[in-house]
């Protein structure tokens, strides 16, 4: 039943003029939070096992940004930028630095 409600919620979000009921919106928000927490845990485990993987820091930073965790987002983006620079990926380094300068 919840997957059906989530499907409806997603379809409503991408269409115009659809008002979600409070219960459907709450289920959607709860599911999004659980998925985000699970992804955060997975990324933390990846970082623990391979702390030189810049993409994991970058992706976790994006997740923190989505969750509104600005200090954690900034910290992970700074680490990702540093690692990308060390690894010679100047394009990603520059893109992240530009984002950080706008904070």
pLDDT at 6 over 70: no
Long-range contacts: 51-55, Cβ < 8 Å, 24+? 52/83, 52/87, 53/83, 54/79, 54/80, 54/83, 54/84, 54/87, 54/89, 54/92, 55/80
Tell me the pLDDT band of 27, cut-offs 50, 70 and 90.
low
> pTM for this structure?
0.69
Tell me the pLDDT band of 95, cut-offs 50, 70 and 90.
very high
| Inter-residue contact 47 to 57 (CB < 8 Å) | yes
Tell me the pLDDT band of 30, cut-offs 50, 70 and 90.
low
Q: What is the pLDDT at residue 29? A: 61
């Amino acid at each position: 039943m919840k997957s059906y409600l989530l499907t409806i919620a997603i379809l409503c979000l991408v269409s115009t003029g659809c008002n979600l009921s409070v219960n459907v919106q709450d289920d959607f928000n709860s599911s999004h939070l659980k998925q985000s927490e699970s992804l955060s845990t997975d990324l933390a485990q990846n970082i623990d096992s391979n702390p030189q993987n810049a993409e994991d820091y970058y992706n976790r930073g994006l997740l923190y940004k989505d969750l509104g965790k600005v200090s954690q987002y900034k910290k992970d983006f700074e680490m990702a930028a540093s690692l990308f620079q060390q690894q010679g990926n100047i394009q990603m380094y520059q893109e992240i630095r530009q984002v950080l300068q706008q904070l």
